[in-house]
Amino acid sequence: MQEVSKNLSLLWSADQGWAEAKCEEAAMQETDYEQGLLGLIQQQPEQGLAEAIKQYGGLVQAVVRRVLGNECQQDVEECTSEVFWRLYQAVGQEGRFEAGRSLKSYLCGIARHVALDRGRRLSRTVWQELPPEDKAGAPGADPAEQLADKDQKQLVQQCVDAMPQPDRDIFILRYYFGEQVKNIAARLGLETKAVENRLYQGRRRLKKTLMERGVEL
């Protein structure tokens, strides 16, 4: 019986190794493709951007739609074109693409920022008494302000990246892309309650990490 377990374990390890090798191979192919695409954008911008829009346009629009929270096609298309314009600007400038960072990840980040910016412009304002925006120094000040330096930003990065799967992806979908819990649950085939609990675990983990550094949420 022990022998069978051992064999199964070896078989599993072999499968796992094969899967990891396949993933690495796919990642290398993707990197090669991205490098080629960036070169094309630099040398022949129109052709390069056409290929980039074809390849990644749908992903960029998916991020924009989620962040904007609306389906106004004009807004979505304007944001999408701005994302690719920013990509064009970034191409060829040293230091724009961090080593090891994929184009997909870069585009998702830019799309999120552009859509947040657009959302702020489109947001409907209900008048309030003119509020002071200065919250610095106030009790319970914005934790993002407390986490001003890069080291502490890295702390958030490391903490989220270290979450087990699927918790990490759930956390990113919810708090980076603003996805609704019920949609996350439907996509992953989980109960809403299960997603809420995983988000809770993620929040608790992040809070604990931050508290160890003296930052309170």
Partner 1 sequence: MSEVNKVSDMNNPADYDLGAEEILQEEIAIQHLMEGYIMPNNFNTDLLEPQEISAVEQQRILNQTMQHMQNGQNGPSRQSTARSRRSGVPRRKLWVFGLAAVMLLAMSSLAVAEFALNKDFLGFFNAESGQLPQQSGQEINMQDSNENGTLTVEQVVGDKQSVYVLLDFVAPEGVVLDGDGYQWDKAHVMLSQSTGAGYYFEELPDDDPADNHLRMMLCLQTNVSLKGQRIDLNLGGLKGYITEDMDYTQPLPGEWKLGFVLDYTPTSDVLPQNVDIKLGEATAHVSSLEISPFTIIVDVDVDNPEGYMPPAGYVEPQGGSVEIADDGTEKMIPYSESPVEIKISDLLADLDRFEVTLQDGSVLQTSGGGGNAELNHHQIIFSFNQLLNLEDIASIKYQGQELQLR
Q: What b/e readout covers 22-56, taking b as 16+ CB neighbours within 10 angstroms?
A: eeeeeeeeeeeebeebbebbeeeeeebbebbbeeb
* 33 binds partner 1, rule: CB under 8 A: no
* 178 binds partner 1, rule: CB under 8 A: yes
User: What is the smallest separation between the CB atom of 132 and partner 1, expressed in angstroms?
Assistant: 5
Q: Which of 142, 208, 211, 213 is in the footprint of partner 1 by CB under 8 A?
A: 142
| Choice between 3 and 98, CB closer to partner 1 | 98
User: What is the smallest separation between the CB atom of 59 and partner 1, expressed in angstroms?
Assistant: 4
User: What is the smallest separation between the CB atom of 15 and partner 1, expressed in angstroms?
Assistant: 19
User: What is the smallest separation between the CB atom of 173 and partner 1, expressed in angstroms?
Assistant: 6
Q: Respond yes or no on whether the N-terminal peptide bond of residue 166 is cis (omega within 30° of 0).
A: yes
What lies within 8 Å, CB to CB, of 48 at 6+ separation is 37, 38, 39, 40, 41, 42
Cα separation, 110 vs 81, in Å, equals 11
| Choice between 3 and 149, CB closer to partner 1 | 149
* 189 binds partner 1, rule: CB under 8 A: no
Q: Which of 38, 40, 49, 91 is in the footprint of partner 1 by CB under 8 A?
A: 49
* 4 binds partner 1, rule: CB under 8 A: no
* 197 binds partner 1, rule: CB under 8 A: yes
SS (H, E, C) 69-115: CCCCHHHHHHHHHHHHHHHHHHCCCCCCCCCCCCHHHHHHHHHHHHH
| Choice between 1 and 138, CB closer to partner 1 | 138
What separation in angstroms does the CA of 34 have from each of 30, 60, 106, 108, 139? 6, 16, 11, 14, 46
Task: Decide: residue 65, CB within 10 A, 0-12 exposed, 13-18 middle, 19+ buried.
Answer: buried
Residues in region 76-95 near partner 1 by CB under 8 A: 77-78, 80-82, 84-86, 88-90, 93, 95
Residues in region 122-141 near partner 1 by CB under 8 A: 122-134, 136
* 209 binds partner 1, rule: CB under 8 A: no
* 144 binds partner 1, rule: CB under 8 A: yes
* 151 binds partner 1, rule: CB under 8 A: no
